Amino acid sequence: MSGILDGKRLLITGVITEQSLGFGVAKYAQEQGADVVLTGFGRMSLVERIAKKLPKPAPVIELDVTDAEHLESLAGKVREHVDGIDGVLHAIAYAPPSALGGNFLNTPWEDVATALSVSTFSYKSLATACLPLMENGGSIVGLTFDASQAWPVYDWMGVAKAGLESANRYLARDLGPKGIRVNLVSAGPQRTMAAKSIPGFEAFEEAWTKRSPLGWSLTDSEPVAKACAALLSDLFPATSGEILHVDGGFHAVGVERTEQ
């Protein structure tokens, strides 16, 4: 059976558990015919264990996306497994505890800087580190949480995501002439490690469950994976700088669902 990613070579970041959005994308991408290489951060033996749970065990390269040496050596390490790549998934975010949970007015700059460095600037760093592998063009996809408005508890991560959404447009501008598309998927809440570290995250879970016109599962990341896979495939050849909402329709409606 042919898949939408047949013959595509993908680099996928941000896998730490089977709930990770990156894991869901890697799994679906393999099911659709892609060859997947993963990156892991810090806890490499854990990532390697999770990588073995994919339909086809994937190789794992160590990448701290804030480490200049890791970024410089990334292309060479990827070439040990594939001769180039057609797509990259950026599924990386982190903010120190003081930057989340309702402390917005008191968060020190150092912690804001960490959030921006890992969650925003890294999109550009990963893209440029992968350029030598994408000489024939390709697709870069990242993950955001709708930054068009202020949320409870999301605080400086919301600011970091607003920056990510802007960086998405600038990367689309600068990489388009190289045949590289750059797009974000704006996902509704999912119970991943990153989400669980946000105090008060239940507020999103409750709101999404009540308001999404299509309804929303907090534990099924396949809709997000399918959208990322579509953007990584050849199905969106003229789309770049876009933010595709995969949130059950939540962003489009103003109040809770009423039974009709």
Min. distance of Cβ 186 from ligand NAP in angstroms? Answer: 7
- Show the site string, 200-219: x = touches ligand NAP by CB under 6 A, - = not: --------------------
**Rounded distance between C-alpha atoms, residue 210 and residue 200, angstroms:** 17
**Rounded distance between C-alpha atoms, residue 230 and residue 216, angstroms:** 20
Q: Is 48 exposed, middle or buried (0-12, 13-18, 19+ CB in 10 A)?
A: middle
Indicate the residue among 138 and 188 with the shorter CB distance to ligand NAP. Answer: 188
63 near ligand NAP, judged by CB under 6 A? yes
Cβ 188 vs Cβ 246: under 8 Å: yes
Own/partner pairs, 107-111, CB within 8 angstroms, 24+ separation: 107/155, 107/156, 111/156
* DSSP class of 92: -
73 near ligand NAP, judged by CB under 6 A? no
93 near ligand NAP, judged by CB under 6 A? yes
20 near ligand NAP, judged by CB under 6 A? yes
Residues pairing with 126 in the sheet: none
DSSP secondary structure of 15-73? -SSTTSHHHHHHHHHHHTT-EEEEEE-S-HHHHHHHHTTSSS---EEE--TT-HHHHHH
Min. distance of Cβ 88 from ligand NAP in angstroms? Answer: 13
Indicate the residue among 2 and 144 with the shorter CB distance to ligand NAP. Answer: 144
Among 30, 190, 209, 212, binds ligand NAP (CB under 6 A): 190
Min. distance of Cβ 114 from ligand NAP in angstroms? Answer: 9
- Show the site string, 223-252: x = touches ligand NAP by CB under 6 A, - = not: ------------------------------
Among 5, 10, 12, 16, binds ligand NAP (CB under 6 A): 16
194 near ligand NAP, judged by CB under 6 A? yes
**Rounded distance between C-alpha atoms, residue 62 and residue 70, angstroms:** 7
Indicate the residue among 96 and 137 with the shorter CB distance to ligand NAP. Answer: 96
Residues that bind ligand NAP (CB under 6 A): 14-17, 20-22, 41-43, 63-66, 91-94, 118, 143-145, 187, 189-190, 192-195
